[in-house]
Amino acid sequence: MTFQPSILEIQLPDWIDTFLRERPGYISPVEDRMSFVIEAAQLNVFKGTGGPFAAAVFETESGKLVSLAVNLVTSGGLSILHAEMLALALAQRKVGTYDLGRYDVPGHDLVASAEPCAMCLGAIPWSGVRRVIVGASDSDVRAIGFDEGPKIKDWKSELEKRGIATICDVRREAAVQVLLNYSLQGGKIYNSRESG
Amino acid sequence: MTFQPSILEIQLPDWIDTFLRERPGYISPVEDRMSFVIEAAQLNVFKGTGGPFAAAVFETESGKLVSLAVNLVTSGGLSILHAEMLALALAQRKVGTYDLGRYDVPGHDLVASAEPCAMCLGAIPWSGVRRVIVGASDSDVRAIGFDEGPKIKDWKSELEKRGIATICDVRREAAVQVLLNYSLQGGKIYNSRESG
């Protein structure tokens, strides 16, 4: 075959580093964790670096911020670059394990500005996070035109069966506002395939 | 927060490059595409570089091999590193778009040695591939202990609704043999979270 590189590199936008330097390393109330994530999602729209979504991983108890990511599908040129996928991967690199739920590491939250699509939902049990905190709902995301994909209806109980708690509608209005801002700004609805 | 790197690097095992150099750049019959992928899955088990899974992207009509990947969860330390996710990402980098189904690029197949888990299933519509070819079934994968996650039952019709064809049970016995070899060898069942 023609050449395939042996390294896949994913570059985060420069502004994330600046953003993180200005923020606290620990955030405790769930609503404050979500506000932080929504702010990053809004910045991603403002900077034009991707879709209107952000996600972060925190240590559940201590509130330590472990990773922050934003949607980079359009700027990174890869359809898997949803905020949740990147936040989970960055957190696993930092903690040094593919299982954030391992017995010898603290429990972790995934905080997402919007309800996970089918792919990100599927990624959650593999990741080892013990709790998922969601802002905007699936219907809010679909309302601006994104197809969230072939997703199981009763996703919360499917996560709960696997020992993963969920908290939804956290600062939902603020999260929806980011979606609307993106839509109003003419942001690309790089859709999941809806028809041939 | 503590430092977060601005680049996420995913390193493929060295043997893939050698493997690819020895193989043709075009493969036409679907069964032969699958045999190629199964061979890579078996090598991944043999080399100890990850789970018993491989996936490749081909141009549907021409048979051009666009990307090949294997499961790297354990060696890469990231739970998202399923073979399908990596194969899609590598193909998108090579083609230069996050949408392999874009009107101005040829149609693409995803060929996977085993039925996609919930995460990889969700990744397929976003990727733009127009056809998915599967070896071992979901039940074959669960039989060696992997939890495929919160997956929609009628996944084929969900893909078809989105203009994506599926062909299953292609060289299934050979694909199952790789799963069994992994299991017999004591390969790690790095599970999706089944309980707290």
In this prediction, residue A57 has a pLDDT band, given cuts at 50, 70 and 90, of very high
Give the pLDDT mean for A167-186: 96
CB B70 within 8 A of CB B8: no
CB B44 within 8 A of CB B175: no
- Name the pTM for this structure: 0.96
A165 contact B CB<8A: no
In this prediction, residue B94 has a pLDDT band, given cuts at 50, 70 and 90, of very high
Q: Domains, chain B, ranges and CATH?
A: 35-184 (3.40.140.10)
Q: Which amino acid is at B121?
A: L
Per DSSP (E only), the strands in chain B are 7-11, 54-59, 65-70, 108-114, 131-136, 165-167
Nearest Cα neighbor of B134 from B102, B156, B101, B108 is B156
Q: CB B74 to CB A98 under 8 A?
A: yes
B167 contact A CB<8A: no
Complex confidence, ipTM: 0.96
Query: pLDDT (tens digit, 9 = 90+) per residue, A5-34?
Result: 999 999 999 999 999 999 999 999 999 999
Q: CB A74 to CB B98 under 8 A?
A: yes
* B43 CB neighbour count, 10 Å cutoff: 18
Q: State the Cα–Cα distance between residues B105 and B35, nearest whole angstrom.
A: 26
Residue B191: pLDDT over 80? no
Q: Which amino acid is at A126?
A: W
Query: pLDDT (tens digit, 9 = 90+) per residue, A125-141?
Result: 999 999 999 999 999 99
Q: Is the dihedral of CA A7, B71, B112, A120 positive or negative?
A: negative
Chain A environment of B93 (Cβ under 8 Å):
5, 8, 77-78
* Percentage of residues of chain A with pLDDT beyond 90: 92
Q: Is the dihedral of CA A34, A35, A41, A44 positive or negative?
A: negative
